């Protein structure tokens, strides 16, 4: 792998990084969003000799976002590890944030209409059954009657969760959810995005400068090759 190929690959990786930074900046205000991070794999001698692309590893920064007070008792956050579980036509959907409401079928659902899961499956409430509240153990109460306990789960590798938009994720292929006990649920709280717009802007500037530097390497290599070809032409004439 020559300097031209290495610089070209590096520019491709910079473009990927810029796309990830753009996604992060677009979700600064998305509750429960986890920023996308990207790390360059090391250039090993074997890779260089084989001409392979070292590539980049992309994952999620699962650090908790700041908690924001809410007026709704059905805005829920998790203290510590754990993800809320929702049911969708495509399989389980996960989030650090649960902003719930009752749909026309009496189910507790998120803004996407996906039913939050409890130890009884979909969590149903009855009309005129009383006010609904969620306690710190995730138990849902309507009046004095328990209607189910929210399922809090974890996955094998949270950094590999697949973003679906709106702070929602699905497990990576081959990964699955496992029940998680002893997790504290916080009512009237929303977990903010863990994106720092200022930090992302710094990364954007660093990436732009790196891209420009690699572009100069490519340009210099191209000019050197052009001169070499001209000299060879002169020798042959």
How far apart (Å, rounded) are the C-alpha atoms in residues 141 and 30?
Answer: 28
Q: What is the mean pLDDT of each run of 10 residues along the chain (237 residues)?
A: 69 86 94 87 52 70 94 94 92 94 94 94 86 93 92 93 94 91 92 95 89 75 70 64
Q: How far apart are CA 162 and CA 91, in angstroms?
A: 13
- Which residues, in sequence order, are CB contacts of 214 under 8 Å at separation 6+? 7, 8, 10, 11, 14
- Residue whose entry in the numeric block shows the structure tokens 């900046």: 25
What is the pLDDT at residue 7? 72
Per-residue model confidence (pLDDT) at position 234? 65
Query: What are the DSSP calls for 33-93, one per residue?
Result: ---EEEEEPP--HHHHHHT----EEEEE--PPPPEEE-S-TTEEEEESS-EEEEEETTEEE
Residue 66 CB burial class (10 angstroms; 0-12, 13-18, ≥19) = exposed
The structural domains of the chain, with segments of one domain joined by +, span: 3-62+195-236, 67-191
pLDDT of the residue at 46: 43
């Amino acid at each position: 792998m020559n300097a031209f190929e290495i610089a070209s690959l590096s520019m491709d990786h910079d473009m990927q990084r810029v796309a990830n930074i753009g996604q992060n900046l677009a979700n600064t205000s998305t509750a429960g969003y986890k920023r996308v991070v990207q790390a360059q794999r090391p250039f090993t001698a074997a890779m260089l000799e084989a001409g392979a692309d070292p590539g980049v590893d992309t994952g999620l920064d699962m650090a908790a976002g700041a908690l924001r007070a809410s007026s709704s008792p059905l805005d829920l956050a998790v203290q510590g590890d754990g993800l809320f579980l929702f049911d969708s036509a495509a399989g389980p959907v996960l989030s650090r944030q649960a902003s719930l409401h009752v749909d026309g079928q009496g189910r507790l659902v998120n803004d996407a209409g996906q039913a939050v899961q409890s130890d009884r499956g979909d969590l149903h409430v009855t009309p005129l059954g009383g006010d609904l509240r969620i306690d710190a153990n995730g138990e849902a109460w309507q009046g004095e009657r328990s209607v189910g306990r929210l399922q809090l789960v974890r996955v094998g590798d949270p950094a590999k969760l697949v973003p679906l938009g709106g702070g929602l994720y699905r497990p990576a292929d081959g990964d699955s959810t496992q029940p998680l006990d002893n997790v504290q649920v916080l009512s009237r709280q929303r977990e903010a995005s863990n994106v720092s717009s200022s930090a992302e802007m710094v990364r954007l500037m660093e990436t732009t400068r790196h891209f420009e530097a690699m572009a100069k390497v490519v340009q210099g290599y191209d000019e050197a090759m052009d001169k070499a070809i001209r000299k060879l032409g002169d020798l042959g004439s």
